[in-house]
């Protein structure tokens, strides 16, 4: 059965008259009558019977009309779903992120996307930059939000978001927390906590910083996949933490953390969003990238 013929039949049923239905549809009466005959041939049954006042539905016609109403609802639902997909308001998005960016930008960006597109579903994988970029190249992720760290693949595009400053933090009761200035040399004897995911990224940056200054490598005392466990441990011990300034500042009041003023050192790591070259980027992914950029602009304004 042709969907257009079914819709024309529904108009005839609603008007009870072929002439009035044809006028409402903007068709000639012969064309509408031909459509009815075509539909009856497909149904192998009479759908309407002529009366002095117009037409009445047969039992088969009445049964078909009940299905037409459901078809219209399904059509409207389909139209809304297609529109939602086309405008990035629906779909499933697989996101990869490094631990610092997962804390620093994703909560706000994901909240904004889910508010704007409540039908979107998200799957977020948090790991080190190399792991999530490898998953992206393998097609296991749609986009990755992470620090730009020695990315050499020619198969990836990336767009910068903002420059993330890394800082050293400690418990407010730590001996160095009350100093107005701290040197790298003051940190040589200290022990550190890092995430397992960050061992290959921020951990390497920390090691290289000490090495470039001719100092022995930092002593790593705690490695954990849980950022919250690391932060809570640092807050209640003598360990030092090395992480994103923004996330440390957010956690500092309730965990009682202090940012150490390490003299003459400023660690800046750019954050970007990555996706595969020449790969399909869904409307939901494009919408999320727009939100990431808007969120990054707000972050850049923060003191």
Rounded to whole angstroms, the Cα distance separating 1 from 39 reads 6
- Please tell me the distance from the alpha carbon of residue 57 to that of residue 70, in angstroms, as a whole number: 18
Name the residue among 167, 218, 225, 164 with its Cα closest to residue 198: 225
Neighbours of 85 (CB within 10 A): 16
- Which residues, other chains included, contact 95 with Cβ-Cβ below 8 Å and sequence gap of 6+? 106, 122, 123, 124, 125, 141, 142, 143, 144, 145, 288
Query: What's the pLDDT at 258?
Result: 95
**Count of C-beta atoms within a 10 Å radius of residue 3:** 10
Residue 7 reports pLDDT greater than 90: no
Tokens representing 59 are 């039992």
Structure token pair of residue 65: 């009309």
Tell me which of 17-21, 51-55, 265-269, 283-287 is least confident. Answer: 265-269
Average pLDDT over residues 6-15: 89
Beta strands in the chain (DSSP E): 48-51, 54-57, 90-97, 119-126, 143-147, 156-171, 191-195, 219-224, 240-244, 257-260, 267-276
Query: Which is more confident, 80 or 212?
Result: 212
In the chain, % of residues over pLDDT 70: 96
The pLDDT, as a whole number, for residue 199 is 59
C-alpha–C-alpha distance, residues 116 and 178, integer Å: 44
Name the 3-class secondary structure at 203.
Answer: helix
Helix (H, G, I), strand (E, B) or coil at 147: strand
**What string of DSSP letters covers 231-250?**
HHHHHTSS-EEEEEHHHHHH
pLDDT recorded at residue 155 = 84
> Residue holding tokens 């497909």?
42
DSSP single-letter state for residue 181: -
The secondary element (H helix, E strand) that includes residue 11 is helix 3-15
**pLDDT value at 105 more than 90:** no
Instruction: Kindly state the average pLDDT of the residues 105-120.
Output: 91
Q: What is the mean pLDDT of residues 285-294?
A: 93
Which tokens hold the place of 211? 């090495």
Q: What is the pLDDT of residue 197?
A: 61
| Averaged pLDDT for residues 25-29 | 90
Q: pLDDT for 213-271, tens place per residue?
A: 899 999 999 988 788 899 999 999 999 998 888 889 988 999 999 999 998 777 888 89
pTM: 0.66
User: pLDDT at position 150, please?
Assistant: 57
Q: Is 188 helix (H, G, I), strand (E, B) or coil?
A: coil
Task: Tell me the C-alpha distance between 206 and 130, whole Å.
Answer: 17
Tens of pLDDT, residues 146-177? 887 655 578 889 899 988 888 999 999 999 99
Quick one: pLDDT band at residue 198, thresholds 50, 70, 90? low
Whether residue 161 contacts residue 275, with contact meaning beta carbons closer than 8 Å, is answered with: no
269 φ, ψ to 5°? -130, 120
**Contact at 8 Å (CB) between 245 and 259?**
yes
């Amino acid at each position: 059965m042709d969907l257009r013929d079914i819709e024309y039949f529904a108009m005839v049923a609603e008007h009870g008259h072929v002439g009035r239905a044809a006028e409402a549809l903007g068709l000639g009466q012969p064309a509408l009558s031909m459509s009815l005959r075509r539909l009856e041939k497909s149904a192998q049954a009479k759908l309407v019977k002529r009366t002095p006042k117009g037409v009445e539905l047969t039992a088969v016609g009445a049964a078909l009309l009940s299905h037409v109403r459901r078809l219209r609802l399904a059509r409207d639902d389909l139209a809304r779903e297609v529109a939602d997909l086309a405008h990035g308001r629906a779909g499933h998005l697989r996101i990869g992120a490094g631990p610092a960016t997962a804390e620093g930008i994703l909560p706000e960006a994901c909240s904004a996307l889910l508010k704007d597109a409540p039908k979107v579903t998200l799957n977020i994988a948090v790991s080190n930059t190399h792991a999530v970029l490898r998953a992206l190249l393998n097609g296991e992720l749609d986009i990755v939000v992470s620090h730009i760290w020695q990315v050499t693949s020619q198969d990836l595009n990336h767009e910068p978001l903002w420059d993330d400053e890394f800082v050293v933090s400690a418990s407010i009761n730590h001996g160095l927390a009350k100093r107005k200035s701290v040197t790298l040399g003051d940190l040589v004897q200290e022990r550190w906590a890092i995430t397992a995911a960050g061992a290959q990224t921020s951990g390497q940056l920390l090691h290289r910083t000490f090495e470039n200054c001719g100092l022995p490598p930092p002593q790593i005392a705690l490695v954990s996949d849980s950022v919250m466990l690391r932060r809570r441990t640092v807050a209640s011990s003598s360990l030092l933490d090395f992480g994103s300034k923004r996330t440390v500042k957010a956690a500092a009041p309730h965990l009682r953390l202090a940012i150490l003023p390490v003299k003459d050192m400023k660690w800046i790591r750019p954050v970007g969003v990555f996706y595969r070259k020449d790969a399909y980027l869904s409307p939901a992914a494009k919408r999320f990238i727009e939100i990431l950029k808007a969120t990054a602009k707000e972050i850049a304004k923060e003191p």
